[in-house]
Amino acid sequence: MNDNATWMQRDLASLWHPCTQMKDHETLPVTPIRSGKGVWLEDFEGKRCLDAISSWWVNILGHANERINDRIKTQLDTLEHVILSGFTHQPVIELSERLGRLAPAGLGHCFYADNGSSAIEIALKMSYHYWHNRGRPEKRRFLTITNGYHGETLGALSVGDVAIFTDTYRSLLLDVIKVPAPDGFGLPRDQWIDQARAAFAHMEAALERHGDELAAVIVEPLIQCAGGMRMYPPEYLSWLREACDRHNVQLIFDEIAVGFGRTGTMFACEQAGVRPDYLCLSKAITGGYLPLSVVMTTDDIYAAFYDDYSTLRAFLHSHSYTGNPLACAAALATLDILEEDDVIAANRERAARIEQVTAPLRDHPHVGDVRQTGMVVAIEMVKDKATLEPYDFRERRGLKVFQHAMSRGAMLRPLGNVIYWMPPYVITPEEIDFLGEVTREGLEVATGQ
């Protein structure tokens, strides 16, 4: 039988799902999806739900986008994959050239992998190896800010700071220096910069104290996504770039979740007018179609590895599907659409509608903050609005929002007590209004008010 129940049964007999306590599925049904179109997903019984989080932040141009479909189909008939060591192909060359034109000037070399965590591992290894090749092996530690998230592999976990992901593995992780993050939680937007300036004093002190042993600083620009969509102003990135230069420390920007128009510009770092030494990209790069990630870096860093083979200076890091032609074709189609349809400019109108629809939620007695950067909005539920005391995570208020939203035909997947929207860029004003209605109802269900 081709119904939801059959697929659920087969799933639970054979799959172990990511980021899931599988025991939950004794009472919480897993949702089989048969198809998708635009912002909508459809199950095997014809019930639709609006994908309000772009299927883990990747599907920026809608499901079953015909232009991306066509580009992949054309590529499939030509070349599906080839080893990228000693060989190359047209899509990866064209994508590298194009990214070089789009990214901040000076990031002219692309190193590919197939997921965000791997991109972070590459950047960390490359930074450490750079200093080793330059005769500074003592520069081997990393500095980051609290509440960050950079992926699930051990190096990426090391520079992260979301306890539910890191605590179990702490004895396996690198010794990373962490300082308080800039965080506008609970503050009016015009006070974010003062809070960020106070937080940056800790970063400056750490660079002053540890600069001689630091390889790099790594941060998520503007939004700490998995850390609850906490946000901060671009000025922090400007101060950080200047301080890293002054202390001879490299800078890694993790734009895996926020790149490709999500924050209002192609790359979040543009809003600060700065260039990192390593720019890590993934997720939306293929429009949500295929796994691909890239680390972009500078001529100076590339030159530190460029030598005779016998010197053993080469960066001998590899992944089997590095620079896959199908994924690169999807990425090129995604960039075509962003450019030809002027999507990022059009997103300003969508973002304004999102702000208009969610602003009234600030008045809810258990909403401590409504914050927005570009096409990301977060509504944070709190136990006490006056003190911003959070709900106990064991109460699973966010799960109640999720269950209500699914019953209404919307896929909201809160991060703990934080309800957020990160919708595809093809969402309509009417669909934004619908999400606002469902979110308001979900808040009432989850908080009893």
Structure tokens given for 34 = 């048969």
Instruction: State how far the Cα of 119 lies from the Cα of 135, in Å rounded to an integer.
Output: 25
Give Cβ neighbours of residue 86 (< 8 Å, ≥ 6 apart): none
Residue pair 348/264 in contact (Cβ under 8 Å)? The answer is yes
- Binding-site positions for pyridoxal 5'-phosphate read 116-117, 254, 319-320
- Binding-site positions read 56, 116-117, 149, 254, 283, 318-320, 413
Name the residue among 424, 409, 332 with its Cα closest to residue 376.
424
Residue pair 212/172 in contact (Cβ under 8 Å)? The answer is no
Structure tokens given for 328 = 């690169």
Residue pair 251/216 in contact (Cβ under 8 Å)? The answer is yes
Tokens 């007590």 belong to 417
Q: List own/partner pairs for 381-388 with CB under 8 A and 24 or more apart.
A: 381/417, 381/418, 381/419, 381/443, 381/446, 381/447, 382/417, 388/185, 388/186
Tokens 């939680």 belong to 185
Three-state SS at 175:
coil
- Binding-site positions for substrate read 56, 149, 283, 318, 413
When computed from its CA atoms, the radius of gyration of the chain, rounded to whole angstroms, is 22
Instruction: State how far the Cα of 300 lies from the Cα of 130, in Å rounded to an integer.
Output: 9
Instruction: State how far the Cα of 249 lies from the Cα of 102, in Å rounded to an integer.
Output: 25
Instruction: State how far the Cα of 230 lies from the Cα of 162, in Å rounded to an integer.
Output: 12
DSSP character at residue 317: -
**Would you state the torsion angle of the CA atoms of residues 314, 317, 318, 319, taken in this order, to the nearest 10 degrees?**
-160
Instruction: State how far the Cα of 121 lies from the Cα of 320, in Å rounded to an integer.
Output: 15
Structure tokens given for 110 = 């692309």
Residue pair 402/379 in contact (Cβ under 8 Å)? The answer is no
